[in-house]
Structure formats: structure tokens, C-alpha cells
A and B are shown apart, each in its own frame.
Chain A
Amino acid sequence: MSGVHDMGGRPNDDPIDQSEHVFSDWERHTHAMVGALREKRIITTDELRRGIESIAPEEYGKLSYYERWAASLETLLVEKGLLAQDEIDARAEALRERWG
């Protein structure tokens, strides 16, 4: 069975929502971090895609576009040993406290 991302020709009846997207800062940062890591040849586009495709099907549909990117980025950074999972968790928690 092919993955949830492989959706060509498997439509539902939903109309196409044509509303324009207002970017959040964190989305721009996600995009730019991926771009910077790509420039440095630390990650490839296909690794990012693979990380997105590895998101569980029930999660995939719930996440927004850049949430999928961010989840994949986190997977790849940990996998490559550039960051440790507990280090990211701890820093995210520290930021939560910093911001109240």
C-alpha cells in the first residue's frame, strides 16, 4: 500500500480552498532553516520528503504544511546527530517558560 502522501487520483469531494495564506514567523523560519541546511548540504530535499512521508498517516492529515516540514526537520537533525531529542525538548520547554 502506498503512503498517504501519494494522493494523486484518490480525491474526496472537498472543494479546493482558494483562500490566501498569511505566513507566520515560525513558518518563514522553518522554510529558511531548511534552505540553509540544504545550501550547506547537511540535508537534501529528498531527506526532507522522506521525513514527511514517515509521519504516521493519522498524524499527516492533522498537521499543517509547515508543521510537517518542522516535524521532518526535527527527525533529520536528531537522526544526523546534530541535535539530541532531549536537548530540543528541554529548549522548547525553556522557551515555553520564557514566554509564560
Chain B
Amino acid sequence: MSTHTHQGHDHAHDGHEHEGMLEDVELSERARRVLAMEELLAEKGVIGASEVQRLIDFQGARSPVDGARVVARAWTDPDYKRRLLADPEAALLELGYPLVGSAKLAVLENTDAVHHLVVCTLCSCYPTSLLGLPPDWYKSFAYRSRAVVDPRGVMREFGLDVGDGVEVRVVDSTADLRYLVLPQRPTGTEGMSEDELIALVTRDSMVGVGVALAPVA
């Protein structure tokens, strides 16, 4: 077993190699402790293996395609969009998406005048029932610390340049409301079907670091 201790970021290259080795060692120890807790909780009848598996399967089945279906429906059905903005939970249920846990959802509509960007500076709040588990960058120190003070710089890092004529609204999701950005429908998609539109709605566009993809000409 490695006895190296973490030396910080003083020596960029060496430091990264050490970090990698150290992480492998720590991961396996942490994995053992998680499995130990899981076995003990099952033996005591607190939570069973089937319950854990059911939740693993549920979360594994969630992905940004779920959110994309909601967005595409809102693009094609103005009445649905109104319901989605007014009562997101009821509108999600219409499409068969119950929210899990105690969290509620709010939908932030991007327009020609306003662009929303979502962050959780205190932890990692994210609409997992519609987007799946969050990407690492969403949970990273770099994103969490910077999105609230330099949102336009953060978006540029993701390749998105929001013009000065558009108001940027950063939402710091500190409570138990989960925010889904409703991106703008790209131009040139007028004749497209809902399924074709779904393919244009990226995860990043529903967090606000991106916009929906343009259709392939």
C-alpha cells in the first residue's frame, strides 16, 4: 500500500501522478466501507439488497433524454409549455415523470432577452429525475465557485458566448427546488418532429452552459 501523503498542487506533474495512485488506494478502502455498511444494514433489516438495486436501476434509467422530452414537448405544444411553467410537477406527470424525494422543480425559460445558468454553490443540487446524475464539472470547485461571479466566462469556457444584449440570470440552487432550464428552440426546426427535436436538446442546454443544437442542414 502506498504511504504517500497528498502534497497539494505545488508540483503539478508529480502531484497529479501521486494523486492518481493515492486515489486508487483510497477508493478501494472507501468501496469496502460502503459495502460493509450495505451488508450490515441488510442483515439488520434496515434496507434490503433489492431496495438498493431498485434505486440503482431507477437512477441508471434516468438521463438527459428525459429532460429533452419535456423540452421538446414544450417547444411543440404551447399549452403544454404554459402548464410546465405554471405547475411543473403536474406537467411532468403528464409525460410519466414523477419527481423523487421531497424536491420540487422549477422551470426557467430562456428567451431572446434572458439566459439562465444554474449552479449549486453549497453542494450539488441538480434535477436528477430529469437529467440523470450530474456531471463531475457541475460538482467541481471550479464551477461552483466561479459560476456566481463570472458566469459569462464560465459559459465561454463551455463554448457559449451570450451577447451583452442578453441578460444573464444565474440561479444558485441552495434549497430543495431543482431548476431545469428550458432552452430556446433553434431556428430552422419548424418542420421537425418531436423525436427529431429531442435529439437537439443537450444536457448542457438544460443547465444553461449551452444552448440547443442547431439542426443539421
A residues sitting closer than 8 Å to B (CB atoms) are 5-12, 14-21, 23-26, 28-33, 35-40, 42, 45, 49, 52, 61-67, 70-71, 73-74, 77, 82-83, 87-88, 91-92, 94-96, 99
Residues of B within 8 A of A64 (CB): 23, 27
- Whether A74 and B55, one on each chain, are in contact in the complex, defined by CB atoms closer than 8 angstroms, is no
Q: List 13 other contacts, CB 8 Å, given A11-B149, A37-B47, A39-B101.
A: A9-B149, A15-B157, A16-B137, A16-B140, A26-B30, A26-B35, A31-B59, A33-B34, A64-B27, A83-B37, A88-B36, A88-B40, A91-B37
Residues of B within 8 A of A19 (CB): 136
Residues of A within 8 A of B11 (CB): none
Partner of B32 from the list A32, A61, A77, A92 (CB cut-off 8 Å) is A92
Q: How many residue pairs between the two chains, A and B, have CB atoms under 8 Å in the bound complex?
A: 158
Bound form: Cα–Cα A96–B30 in Å:
11
B residues sitting closer than 8 Å to A (CB atoms) are 6, 23, 26-27, 29-41, 44, 46-47, 51-53, 55-56, 59-60, 100-102, 119, 121-124, 133, 135-137, 139-150, 154, 157-158, 172, 176
A92 to chain B, nearest CB (A): 4
- Whether B41 and A83, one on each chain, are in contact in the complex, defined by CB atoms closer than 8 angstroms, is yes
- Whether A91 and B40, one on each chain, are in contact in the complex, defined by CB atoms closer than 8 angstroms, is yes
- Whether A9 and B145, one on each chain, are in contact in the complex, defined by CB atoms closer than 8 angstroms, is yes
Closest to B138 in A: A16
Residues of B within 8 A of A8 (CB): 119, 121-122, 144-145, 147-149, 172
Residues of B within 8 A of A6 (CB): 121-122
- Whether A88 and B154, one on each chain, are in contact in the complex, defined by CB atoms closer than 8 angstroms, is no
Bound form: Cα–Cα A63–B157 in Å:
25
Closest to A32 in B: B55
27 A–B pairs (Cβ distance < 8 Å), ordered by A:
A5-B123, A7-B141, A8-B119, A8-B148, A16-B142, A17-B136, A21-B135, A24-B31, A25-B31, A26-B34, A28-B56, A29-B38, A33-B41, A33-B52, A35-B59, A36-B47, A37-B46, A49-B122, A62-B6, A65-B124, A65-B136, A70-B33, A70-B34, A83-B41, A88-B33, A92-B32, A99-B32
A19 to chain B, nearest CB (A): 7
Partner of A10 from the list B33, B37, B136, B145 (CB cut-off 8 Å) is B145
- Whether A92 and B36, one on each chain, are in contact in the complex, defined by CB atoms closer than 8 angstroms, is yes
- Whether B37 and A28, one on each chain, are in contact in the complex, defined by CB atoms closer than 8 angstroms, is no
- Whether B142 and A95, one on each chain, are in contact in the complex, defined by CB atoms closer than 8 angstroms, is no
